Amino acid sequence: MSESIVILIVDDNKNNLFSLHTLITEYFEVQVLEANSGLGALKIITQENVHLIILDVQMPEMDGFETAKVIRSRNKMRHIPIVFLTAAYKTNEFQKKGFALGAADYLTKPIDKAQLINRIQSYLRFIKQDQQYKQQLEQKITERTIKLSETNQLLQQEIYKHKQTEIELRAAKEVAEQANIIKSQFLANMSHELRTPLNAIFGYSEILEEEAKELNEIECVSDAKKVQLAAKHLLGLINEVLDISKIEAGKMELFIEPVNIEELIDETASTIKPIIENQNNRFIINKPEYFANMQADVTKLRQMLLNLLSNAAKFTQQGKICFTIDYQTRTDGEWVIFCVTDDGIGITDEEQEILFQPFVQADSSTTRRYGGTGLGLAITKRFSEMMGGTIRLFSEFGKGSIFTIYLPLIAKPKVVETTNLENKIEITGTDNVVLIIDDNINIRELLKEKLTQLNYAVAIAEDGTEGLIIAKKLYPDVIFLNTNLAGISSEEILAILKKHEKLSQIPVILISIKEDEEQSYAMGAIECIDEDIDLHSLSNILSNYQIDSNNLIMVVDDDKITLARLEMLLKSEGWDVLTAMDGKLALELLEKYTPTIILLDLMMPEMDGLEFLNHIEKREKWHSIPIVALTAKKLTKQEYSHLNQYVESIFYKAHYKVEELVSQIQRLIIKKLN
């Protein structure tokens, strides 16, 4: 149903008011209001919803032009059509001035009845069309609101399902982790229990061999040797299972002692030589001119070398196997290098990615053809890392492989566990992950602090080996890499990254001194920075390569409707949103996340906004977070003055405009970055 149309007539002459009032109500069903001055007209307009104004030009105190000027200056009134009323002899004089002020039309005195009726009919038609349009718009808004409400309900249901799925996945993960521990314990126990009877079989087969020799039973001697060989092979497999289970359980220990490398090489060569020659291979040993003293776990080192050499023998036929020992002096000390090269079947790129995982071989056909548990390389890798070194692989399918072990001359025991790596990954609540690979703790922490302020999730690695492990775990959005790394160099890390199908797409920013910039770009870096880069420049570099952090906005409000509305609004602007229904919960979330801005309701149960601000004031690390206050309460001058010390701005819930709130958030984000 349309609202009643209201026409206001303004004239200081009572007779004119009466005549106009009577004439209008005689022909039209409208409400007519009267004012005998400009001030009276303004008072009525502020109180009533007026649709048309008929305004006399010549009035004392405030004439029609002055009144029209005030009306046009106010947002609430400026849309109302104004028809000026003036004496006929002054029409030309006033017309130009009136239209300049926004007049819709002119009527002359004395009033022409037909002209008045015709003009009012035209305006009423436009007013009714406008009312119909508004009704249709309101109907559409109502329908849209209902649809949004329904969509929001569906969204809440999906969120609930997602949370339930997360809980189930977390529970499943805990079960899997527990099962993995049980598996390791079972493997360790099983391996230990199997070794006892196997040792007995091995021992008794030797006795039977001796007795068969004495009785000259040649066939029995041969059978006894076969039993010994099978028992020895099975014992080796069980020992590997026991080793990997100990490593996974974190129970493997190192026994560091002086190592005579020359003796170790000779022992290893004599052990492996028959196996290599059995495949009609040539075995070449390249020794250094001198042998330096080494400190390592000699048993594990021997096992590592035998693993590599036996693999080379297993996968090479009628070829050449080279065993090279060398030394290298680097900035982080002296290193010894053991390199095994073969021209066997080689390894594909896909197989190389999984080769060092436990119980994995190149493929099922390799397992059937060559046998083994797939543990030798996994154990070798873990042992090398435990002694502070690393192992690298270069291979071409069909052409052969090169396995190289790098160990410090003086072993640096280091426990490498998956759980330890996970503890170094600190996620701050955003989808953008940055990996920092740097052995300088000062640079690491400084860069991490700056990136955290920009709302990036930051993972750190103290060396290249650890960095590659984390990179393959997280697939970060960008990698910061120091050019002067100890151990595995930045050039080698970049080469490994480029070879990896997924990691090759990750942008790498090198941290180096100015003089090294040209070399850094030549190595394939997208950008080169130094550790003193400022926050704004860092943000610009990441933005240039579309590595933008999603600014996290925290909304604290106990009203579910307001909370949902603000969350929807902020997400539509491309921001991540963290919600809390009271100040206490918000403080708990601040211990885990660092929002860019906090939108804070002042009136809440348990802990209101003012108490929340007091807690913020006590924690220095939260002082840099801008706070925007939202309130439904009209503040006193004292409250307003007190709040202004802690918040950037105050918005009244009943009056603020959405675009003003969004603009203020954008300004605060820019201000914080600068």
Better pLDDT: 179 or 463 = 463
Q: Residue 403 pLDDT > 90, yes or no? A: yes
Q: What one-letter code names the amino acid at 431?
A: D
> Which range among 8-12, 127-131, 140-144 has the greatest average pLDDT?
8-12
Q: For residue 41, which of 27, 62, 58, 24 has the smallest C-alpha distance?
A: 62
Please compute the mean of the pLDDT values over residues 133-137 and round it to a whole number.
79
420 neighbors 404 (Cβ within 8 angstroms): no
Please compute the mean of the pLDDT values over residues 628-635 and round it to a whole number.
79
Can you tell me the distance from the alpha carbon of 411 to that of 456, in angstroms, rounded to the nearest whole number?
Answer: 36
Q: List residues bridging with 652 in a β-sheet.
A: 631
Q: In this structure, which long-range contacts are made by residues 86-91, counting pairs with CB atoms below 8 Å and at least 24 apart in sequence?
A: 86/56, 86/57, 86/58, 87/58, 90/57, 90/58
Residue 215: partners with Cβ closer than 8 Å, 6 or more residues away? none
Q: Residue 80 pLDDT > 60, yes or no? A: yes
Least confident piece of the model among 93-107, 134-148, 337-351, 634-648: 93-107
Can you tell me the distance from the alpha carbon of 473 to that of 500, in angstroms, rounded to the nearest whole number?
Answer: 13
> Which H/E stretch holds residue 340?
strand 333-342
Listing DSSP states for 144-156 in one string gives: HHHHHHHHHHHHH
494: confidence class by pLDDT, cuts 50, 70, 90: confident
> What's the pLDDT tens digit per position in 214-234?
888 877 877 777 777 666 666
> Which range among 75-89, 108-122, 321-335, 392-406 has the greatest average pLDDT?
321-335
> Residue 428: what pLDDT?
35
Better pLDDT: 403 or 609 = 403
Q: Residue 243 pLDDT > 70, yes or no? A: no
Can you tell me the distance from the alpha carbon of 460 to that of 451, in angstroms, rounded to the nearest whole number?
Answer: 12
> What's the pLDDT tens digit per position in 353-369?
777 776 554 444 344 34
Please compute the mean of the pLDDT values over residues 201-208 and round it to a whole number.
73
Longest dimension (CA), the chain: 151
Residue 429's region, left for phi above 0, alpha for psi from -120 to 50, else beta, is left
Work out the percent of the chain whose per-residue pLDDT is above 90. 4
Q: Residue 578 pLDDT > 80, yes or no? A: yes
Residue 409: partners with Cβ closer than 8 Å, 6 or more residues away? 292, 293, 294, 295, 327, 333, 334, 335, 336
Least confident piece of the model among 342-351, 366-375, 491-500: 366-375
∠ CA(242), CA(245), CA(247), 5° rounding?
Answer: 110
* Residue given tokens 């280091």 in the structure block: 414
82 neighbors 7 (Cβ within 8 angstroms): no
Please compute the mean of the pLDDT values over residues 207-218 and round it to a whole number.
81
∠ CA(256), CA(259), CA(260), 5° rounding?
Answer: 175
Task: Count other Cβ atoms within 10 Å, centred on residue 143.
Answer: 10
> Which H/E stretch holds residue 437?
strand 433-437
How many Cα atoms within 13 Å fall on the side-chain side of residue 258?
4
Can you tell me the distance from the alpha carbon of 658 to that of 674, in angstroms, rounded to the nearest whole number?
Answer: 25
Strand (E) positions, 539-641? 552-556, 576-580, 597-601, 627-631
Least confident piece of the model among 62-66, 85-89, 173-177: 85-89
324: confidence class by pLDDT, cuts 50, 70, 90: very high
Task: Count other Cβ atoms within 10 Å, centred on residue 370.
Answer: 13
Q: Is 640 helix (H, G, I), strand (E, B) or coil?
A: helix
Least confident piece of the model among 91-100, 161-170, 586-595: 91-100
Q: Residue 635 pLDDT > 70, yes or no? A: yes
> What's the pLDDT tens digit per position in 246-293?
565 555 677 788 989 888 898 888 888 888 888 888 999 999 888 888
> Residue 374: what pLDDT?
55
> Residue 191: what pLDDT?
59
> Residue 430: what pLDDT?
43
Task: Count other Cβ atoms within 10 Å, centred on residue 486.
Answer: 15
425: confidence class by pLDDT, cuts 50, 70, 90: very low
**Distance set, CA 141 to CA 237, 319, 349 (Å):** 73, 80, 58
91: confidence class by pLDDT, cuts 50, 70, 90: low
Residue 346's region, left for phi above 0, alpha for psi from -120 to 50, else beta, is left
Q: Residue 152 pLDDT > 80, yes or no? A: yes
Q: Residue 667 pLDDT > 50, yes or no? A: yes
How high is the mean pLDDT of the chain?
77
560-572 vs 658-673: helix crossing angle, rounded to 10? 60
> Residue 339: what pLDDT?
94
Q: Residue 92 pLDDT > 80, yes or no? A: no
> What's the pLDDT tens digit per position in 475-488?
777 888 888 887 78
Work out the percent of the chain whose per-residue pLDDT is above 70. 78
> Residue 516: what pLDDT?
53
Q: Residue 522 pLDDT > 70, yes or no? A: no
> Which H/E stretch holds residue 139?
helix 113-214
Q: Residue 160 pLDDT > 80, yes or no? A: yes
Can you tell me the distance from the alpha carbon of 374 to that of 369, in angstroms, rounded to the nearest whole number?
Answer: 13
Residue 359's region, left for phi above 0, alpha for psi from -120 to 50, else beta, is left
Listing DSSP states for 475-529 in one string gives: --SEEEEETT-SSS-HHHHHHHHHHSTTGGGS-EEEE--GGGHHHHHHTT-SEEE
